[in-house]
Amino acid sequence: MDLLTQPVGVAHFMAVGAVLFVAGAVCMATKRNALGVLMGIELVLNGANLNFVALGSEYLRRDTALSLGADGNLIALFVIVLAAAEAAVALAITLNFYNNHSTVDVDRADDLRG
């Protein structure tokens, strides 16, 4: 089994990141619960983080001089912090919506529909 005996590279990490990203995008598109949409957003951001960290690692490439180094890790840190902030605001909005409409179904959020 080639994957078990040979070292893994950036491409393998990016493949897992792609699965996370697509799962998050499908979650955002299909869930009716507003909190489900938020979880999709978290998945998407984590997929992107995995990409950044993989590209910034020196252990996963053929030519280690090309890795992003600390840049990849720092950008991933900023993404984590900003995702946490955005999750807090989105949850506050969802709670407000729930308090006003007694539902978290996004299909019922059509007050502004023309």
Partner 1 sequence: MEPINWHSFFFLLFGALTAVFAVAVVVTSNVVRMAFYLILSLGATAGLFFLAGADFVGAMQLMIYVGGTLVLLIFGVMLTAQGPFISMKTGGGEWVLATIIGGALLGLLVKTAFSVEDWQGPAAVAHVEGEEEHAAALPAQSPTSAPIGLGLLGVRTDKLDPAKAELAPGMAGYLLPFEIVSVHLLVVLVGAAYLARTKKRREA
Using CB under 8 A as the binding rule, the residues of this chain from 1 to 30 that contact partner 1 are 3-16, 18-27, 29-30
| Under rule CB under 8 A, residue 109 binds partner 1 | no
Site string for partner 1, 69-88 (x = CB under 8 A): xx-xxx-xxx-xxxxxxxxx
Closest separation between CB of residue 113 and partner 1, Å? 19
Cα Rg, the chain, nearest whole Å: 19
Task: Tally Cβ neighbours within 10 Å of residue 100.
Answer: 9
Give the count of residues interacting with partner 1 (CB under 8 A).
Answer: 80
Residue 9 CA to residue 5 CA, distance in Å, equals 13
Q: What is the DSSP letter of 109?
A: -
Closest separation between CB of residue 112 and partner 1, Å? 18
Structure tokens at 76: 């991933």
